[in-house]
Chains A and B, each alone.
Chain A
């Protein structure tokens, strides 16, 4: 199974901050890397698929980058509605494992 890690596990930030979350896969996953946002009590929502493709309706302040085993989610200017937990997921091979999550809260 492909193991996914994320860092940091949590971070505190202010509205307007630039936030970067990293994700690492235990082996190369080509471009099969997705990012999800989850708010408490809600189902996850896909933000980015295939490393850097923005899901329809997702604000352009979210962006993804990376290759091979190392990937990044960037929020260019954090907004109040962005306080949530973020998960990366590889869909290169089953089981399509998720990272442990990064909780973004208010500083």
Chain B
């Protein structure tokens, strides 16, 4: 059974940093692109970033480029999102997801990030 478990969310002050992790199981992690998607409270889904199988390709939405860094450790079946210079509008539930052909087939349960003073 495929499982994706996010962790690392919490309350952080504006300008602060947070590192999210996603641990995968039930599939060969190194075979798949992985993606982060976020959802602000009461709002829609926003694609944040993705990373290819060996970590050599990374893409970001403009609003986080230069502040967030996506990475992965295939030996540990994990993906991370380092978030720096956090702003109030980064407040959201952050989901990790595994790509299929080009769709997001499996999702974690999400971890809540709250940016507030």
Number of interface residues of A (CB under 8 A): 23
When C-beta atoms are compared, the residue in chain B nearest to A34 turns out to be B103
The CA-CA distance from A101 to B37 in the complex, in Å, is 15
The CA-CA distance from A101 to B39 in the complex, in Å, is 12
Q: Are B47 and A98 in contact (CB under 8 A)?
A: yes
Q: Is the interface of A mostly helix, strand, loop or mixed?
A: loop
Q: Are A50 and B45 in contact (CB under 8 A)?
A: no
Q: Are B105 and A55 in contact (CB under 8 A)?
A: yes
The CA-CA distance from A29 to B82 in the complex, in Å, is 30
Given known A43-B95, A44-B107, contact A1–B62 (CB-CB < 8 A): yes
How many interface residues does chain B have, given as a range? 20 to 34
Q: Is the interface of B mostly helix, strand, loop or mixed?
A: strand
Given known A43-B110, A44-B107, contact A50–B47 (CB-CB < 8 A): no
Interface 1/0 per residue, B94-117 and A, CB below 8 Å: 010000111111011110000000
Q: Which residues of B contact A (CB under 8 A)?
A: 35, 37, 44-47, 50, 59-62, 95, 100-105, 107-110
Within 8 Å by CB of B102, from A44, A87, A91, A97, lies A91
Within 8 Å by CB of B100, from A1, A44, A46, A94, lies A46
8 contacts between A and B (CB under 8 A): A34-B103, A36-B45, A44-B104, A46-B100, A46-B104, A55-B105, A89-B47, A94-B47
Q: Are B101 and A50 in contact (CB under 8 A)?
A: yes
Q: Are B45 and A44 in contact (CB under 8 A)?
A: yes
